[in-house]
Amino acid sequence: MEDGVQRFVHNENIALYRRLIAESEGDPSRDEARHKMLLRLLGEEIAKVNKPSNGQTLAQLLSTVLTFATVVA
């Protein structure tokens, strides 16, 4: 049960970070430090959900995270 709750929280955090990043993208006076922090937090949250499985390298995991961040940005 706890795993389901944790996955829910991670998914909600990801949705929140994506929304905040999208809002930041459209703001011409955005705070670059905050925007970068949101991208980092999004990447960290995605990494928590997509923990490396057996045989998955760190490089593959980072590639997945960067792909998500690129899609959002």
From first to last of its 73 residues, the chain has per-residue pLDDT tens of 578 888 899 899 999 999 999 999 888 898 999 999 999 999 888 888 777 665 666 666 667 666 655 555 4
pTM over 0.85: no
Task: Give Cβ neighbours of residue 47 (< 8 Å, ≥ 6 apart).
Answer: 61, 65
Domain boundary assignment for the chain: 2-72
Return the beta strands (E) in the chain as ranges. Answer: none
HSE-up (13 A, CA, CB side) for residue 11: 6
Give the per-residue pLDDT at 71.
55
| Tokens representing residue 69 in the block | 């961040």
